Amino acid sequence: MSTVRGAAKRVTAAKRTVAEVLVAARGHLTADEITSAVQRERPEVSPSTIYRILEEFEELELVVHAHLGQPAAVYHLAGVVHGHLTCEVCQRTVEIPSSHFDALSRELLARYGFQLDRHHLALSGRCRDCRNARAGVVTPREATT
């Protein structure tokens, strides 16, 4: 009865498990990865439920998602704001401090009235390893971390 904005949210096993997974991972997970992790504990939980839970968590501002240049979005706990650098070649992503965007952010606001969201989209480019590697063929995902 003590619901906010008419939305009576319930605490369920699936939600608790999703939260646990996100806390344990401490990184970026796709919905599919979250689903797999949750299903290790609760095999019945379906992907659609995961999407619905993630959506709810985002409304509650517990979670944010980002698009890193790959088809699947990634989710992580809302916390310290940070940016993402994603390598176009090996697809690895690193987080960088939000402060790198300070100057650019001010510039865009002043010049275009545009309020930068440092989280939502990654910066694309080539990481050190892939720059060094010869132009052509580089094995994507040769390292997982």
Partner DNA sequence: TTAGATGCAAAGACTTTGCGCACTT
Partner DNA sequence: AAGTGCGCAAAGTCTTTGCATCTAA
123 binds a second copy, rule: CB under 8 A: yes
Query: CB under 5 to 8 A by kind: which of DNA, a second copy, none does 99 bind?
Result: none
104 binds DNA, rule: CB under 7 A: no
Q: Which amino acid is at 57?
A: F
- Quick one: which of 27, 40, 41, 51 contacts DNA (CB under 7 A)? 51
| Interacting residues with a second copy between 83 and 102 (CB under 8 A) | 85-88, 94, 96, 100-101
> Measuring CA to CA, how many Å separate 125 from each of 3, 62, 69, 120?
45, 29, 10, 16
Number of residues that bind DNA (CB under 7 A): 30
- How large is the greatest C-alpha to C-alpha distance in the chain, in angstroms? 63
63 binds DNA, rule: CB under 7 A: no
| Interacting residues with DNA between 9 and 38 (CB under 7 A) | 9-15, 30-32
26 binds a second copy, rule: CB under 8 A: no
Sign of CA dihedral 25, 86, 62, 39: negative
Question: CA 122, CA 69: separation in Å to the nearest integer?
Answer: 7
